[in-house]
Structure 1
Amino acid sequence: MEITAGGLLEVRITPADVGKRVSVRRVEAGLSGGPRFTDTVGVLTSWDDGVLLITRKNGQAVRIAESTLVAGKTVPPAPARRRGPAASFEELARVSARSWQPLESEALGGWTLRAAAGFTRRANSVLPLGDPGLPLDDALARVTSWYTERGLPAYVQTATGAEGTQELLCAELERRGWAAEVSAQVRIGALAPVADVDAPEAEAVRLTRTPDEEWLGRYGKVTDPALARRMLVAGPSVWFAALPGGRAVGRCVVDGRWAGFAALAVDPAHRREGLATAVMAALSRRALEEGASAAWLQVETDNPGALGLYDGLGFAAHHTYHHYRAAR
């Protein structure tokens, strides 16, 4: 809200502020018939035909009629509230891409087109970390054609919620009918506290360089074991963890100072026994031995159990990524 010296609300933003973080207040009719004020904070991603589009930190796009605005101003980027290491969006995006590599890729300017016979969206989507070198419509046409040639749907992986992310691209994709299908948080934290956590079962965790049949069975997302193994072992330094009987499994990729955790799965009959924590502790200890000091992971935003686990281990949200699928 912006209040002038005379006590009046004032709109201090214009279409020239597209791309900036803003705070706006709009007025609507309340249930009792009186006015109701609603505040929105996010990136102003467009202002066309009397309608503002503001993308919030969680990726939600809010459309606001210009006629309902009563106050608005630009605001500085949200302060970092992370525990553990500092990291830029681009650094984390590149580290996570190296940890989950496609079978084939092609550059389109600063974009990377990735494909892996449909095994996971991450490995079968565009990673846009720069300018594609073409007008956006031409770039998206090239993307759609490239995936169609491979019998795959076209996805673009975008991000919101951190400086250097892609709220404007999200808005442009939505305007063209692309739909966000899956959103996930990227979380970061210090590695040593995870390694030091009290997890007696960690001593029983077996670490290997390749996943066996038991590991793949517990992971449970595999229809082609040969393809999955080829994908999963790719990365700078990859480790697979498993508890006896396949009660819990996990994967970790060590890449410089970073240890990235993925594919954490626990037998439903053994949940809430601390097995996921034990797997992460064992992998963290190995990553520390290889010189890593920071950790990252990705977790879908509708997984409260995993979110609670990672909260307890000291991981905090860095940004949120979204997979946009081309309009059918």
Structure 2
Amino acid sequence: MATHDPVGDRPEVRIDRSDVGRRVSVRRLAEFVDDRPVFRDSIGVLTSWDDHGLTIAPRTGDPVFLPEKLLVAGKTVPPFAARRVPLPVTAPVELQRIAGRGWPAVEQEPLGEWTLRAAAGFTRRANSVQALGDPGLPLPRALAAVRAWYAARGLPAYVEVISPGSPPALVAELDRLGAGYAPTLVRTAPLAGLARAGAGHDRVRLARTADDRWLSVYRRVSGDPAVEEAARRVLHGGPSVWFATVPGAPGQPPVAIGRCVIEGAWACFGAIEVQPYARRAGLATTVMAVLASRAAEEGASGGYLQVEAENAGAIALYDGLGFTTSHTYHYALLPQG
């Protein structure tokens, strides 16, 4: 809560620029009708406040902008109270398609019903072929085309194989070629319980973009300019993307970060990072809870995430938050031809 009134003598305005990233309720002067003022109320995330005015991201619809001089009242409000509803029923193949749209590659090209994806090598998810459906070619020719496409970009050729979901013939052909596998678990949970987890939710700030401070904590960004540019494009891609930050001390990088992308009934959680000195204090849970509340506010009811099968620490965390395994997928590395 603000400690001073930023707009003169309006005591009902109890927010200021330090509240950017929090959920707020504001009232603004909208118009005059017959010389009488008409007010409008908005609830949502305060995404910006500068000399031009304030911007609020409501539950649905376009952002709401208002000049500061029209602000009549404002206060911070608790995160959205997610309703307890069943987990959405979605087949593994469709959930993989949703996940692909939430982590869109810089370059995408169809091969029949398959999708070739590349992003300068930034993550295997954005640099693998999503082999769902019919490639329109016999499998040996399709996989040869995959290998050639990635070789032309100086990238290894990975094929995303879903279990259950991928046809046995594809797995058999990959086995025949001697492909190597790296398993990843897709885990799901209802959002309501997750949104109520953790404590200290008011420490978390939400934003539509990942700034340099957020990126400084994200471990997957390298010093390669091409990879960094690809990372920015992938991270900001998706239907409705939110970035969470727990600010550090003045002049210091964030203590914790996270990312969520929302599409329909589903919200994907990723990039949950906590500084080593601040681990085991529940910050990862708190970040995910605030993101889950925002996703529920936009209409989502289920959350999913992807975690490497050997990451026992992360799996234990997600077990405690109610996540269970929906399915497994593998990145099958094609041998060079």
| Residues in 2 aligned to 1:206 and 1:301: alpha-carbon distance in whole angstroms | 30
Confirm whether residue 326 of structure 1 aligns to residue 325 of structure 2: no
1:194 aligned residue: 194
Confirm whether residue 302 of structure 1 aligns to residue 310 of structure 2: yes
1:9 aligned residue: none
| Residues in 1 aligned to 2:300 and 2:237: alpha-carbon distance in whole angstroms | 18
**Percent of pairs identical after alignment?**
53
1:237 aligned residue: 240
Contact 2:106 2:230 in 1 (8 A): no
Contact 1:89 1:165 in 2 (8 A): no
1:172 aligned residue: 173
1:207 aligned residue: 206
Cα distance, 1:166 vs structure 2? 4.2
Cα distance, 1:325 vs structure 2? 1.0
Alignment of 1:220-235 (within 5 A): 220-223=219-222, 224=225, 225-235=228-238
Confirm whether residue 270 of structure 1 aligns to residue 278 of structure 2: yes
Cα distance, 1:170 vs structure 2? 2.5
Instruction: Pick the aligned partner of 1:311 from 296, 308, 319.
Output: 319
Bigger shift: residues 246-255 or 170-179? 170-179
Query: What's the secondary structure of 2:123's corresponding residue?
Result: coil
Matched residue type, 1:221: R
| Residues in 1 aligned to 2:169 and 2:319: alpha-carbon distance in whole angstroms | 29
> Could you state the TM-score of these two structures normalised by the residue count of structure 1?
0.71
1:124 aligned residue: 127
Cα distance, 1:212 vs structure 2? 1.3
| Residues in 1 aligned to 2:179 and 2:160: alpha-carbon distance in whole angstroms | 11
Instruction: Pick the aligned partner of 2:259 from 251, 256, 264.
Output: 251
Gaps of 5+ in 1: 1-82
Matched residue type, 2:179: W
Contact 2:239 2:263 in 1 (8 A): yes
Instruction: Pick the aligned partner of 2:298 from 283, 290, 299.
Output: 290
| Residues in 1 aligned to 2:177 and 2:332: alpha-carbon distance in whole angstroms | 11
Matched residue type, 2:296: L
Query: Over the residues paired in the alignment, what is the CA RMSD in angstroms?
Result: 1.4
Cα distance, 1:165 vs structure 2? 3.6
Gaps of 5+ in 2: 1-85, 249-253
Cα distance, 1:137 vs structure 2? 0.8
Confirm whether residue 144 of structure 1 aligns to residue 147 of structure 2: yes
Matched residue type, 2:209: T
Matched residue type, 2:150: Y
Question: Aligned pair in 2 of structure 1 residues 167, 213: CA closer, same or farther (>3 Å)?
Answer: farther
> Could you state the TM-score of these two structures normalised by the residue count of structure 2?
0.69
| Residues in 1 aligned to 2:145 and 2:168: alpha-carbon distance in whole angstroms | 21
| Residues in 2 aligned to 1:121 and 1:260: alpha-carbon distance in whole angstroms | 17
CA deviation map 1:38-71 (0-9, x unaligned): xxxxxxxxxxxxxxxxxxxxxxxxxxxxxxxxxx
1:97 aligned residue: 100
| Residues in 2 aligned to 1:226 and 1:106: alpha-carbon distance in whole angstroms | 20
Question: Aligned pair in 2 of structure 1 residues 243, 166: CA closer, same or farther (>3 Å)?
Answer: farther
Cα distance, 1:231 vs structure 2? 1.4
| Residues in 2 aligned to 1:309 and 1:295: alpha-carbon distance in whole angstroms | 15
| Residues in 2 aligned to 1:114 and 1:167: alpha-carbon distance in whole angstroms | 23
| Residues in 2 aligned to 1:127 and 1:254: alpha-carbon distance in whole angstroms | 20
